[in-house]
Amino acid sequence: MSKIPLKNRVFYKYILTHFSYYGNGLYYNVSMIYAAIAIVVIILIIIIIQSVRRKADTAEIIKAGRLGEKTATAILRKFLRDDDHLLTNVSISFDGKQTELDNIIINKNGIFIFEVKNYNGYLTGSEEDFEWQKYKVTDAGNVYEKPVKNPIRQVKRQIYILHHYLDRRGVNIWVEGYVMLLHGRSAVTSQYVLKTGRDIDRAIHTPGNVKLTPKTIRTIIDLLR
């Protein structure tokens, strides 16, 4: 077998060495591209899973809220008298501030807002706190803590908006507001929080300084419908 000339052998070695170098570099670059793609895919999967979970949690909250509103409305109806009027899901706004009122009772003693909360857990907080803390114990005994909006602050805001909404339309009367905690698991003590049926009956049927005539009651109902 004839030998490859020295000059040619040097040339071939040069070619093979550089080909191997560039080949390894190409393999390295391709591997890095695949790794980057895999990381991006994993991140996208995580984002999608978190988004789905958030949507599921939101749907569950909405479902619980709607169930709570229906339950509260059914409870309130048990305490209505012949001259009581119950309005539900009333949307109003004043000075750019909007709100939806779950339940409103109107009678000769005044106007009463009922903000419904269907919290499944134990609540702690005070009347002036921006947020309350909700504690929930699982079947396994694990305790989870989650901040929730202070419903008393919410109902105070609703009182303000409803009062000024009516006042701008010629009906200047005081508005009362209460929070209904359907499960009643709370250490919060406030005149705004109702926990029993007796609390509801006393709130709407105890005579106070407000005395509404049938005509005024009809005007208020027409304004809110």
Per-residue pLDDT reduced to its tens digit, 149-208: 888 999 999 999 999 999 999 999 999 999 988 766 676 778 898 878 888 999 999 998
DSSP code for 3: P
Specify the pLDDT at position 133: 86
86/102 Cα distance (integer angstroms) = 10
Give the separation between CA 91 and CA 224, rounded to whole angstroms: 8
In this prediction, residue 182 carries a pLDDT of 72
- Alpha-carbon gap, residue 18 to 110, rounded angstroms: 92
How far apart are the C-alpha atoms of 37 and 211, rounded to whole Å? 72
So what's the pLDDT on residue 188? 76
Residues of the chain with confidence (pLDDT) below 70: 1-32, 34, 47-69, 183-185, 187
Q: Which whole-number Å values give the CA distances from 111 to 72, 104, 169, 191, in the listed order?
A: 17, 7, 15, 16
User: CB of 99 within 8 A of CB of 91?
Assistant: yes
Whole-angstrom Cα distance, residue 117 to residue 80? Answer: 20
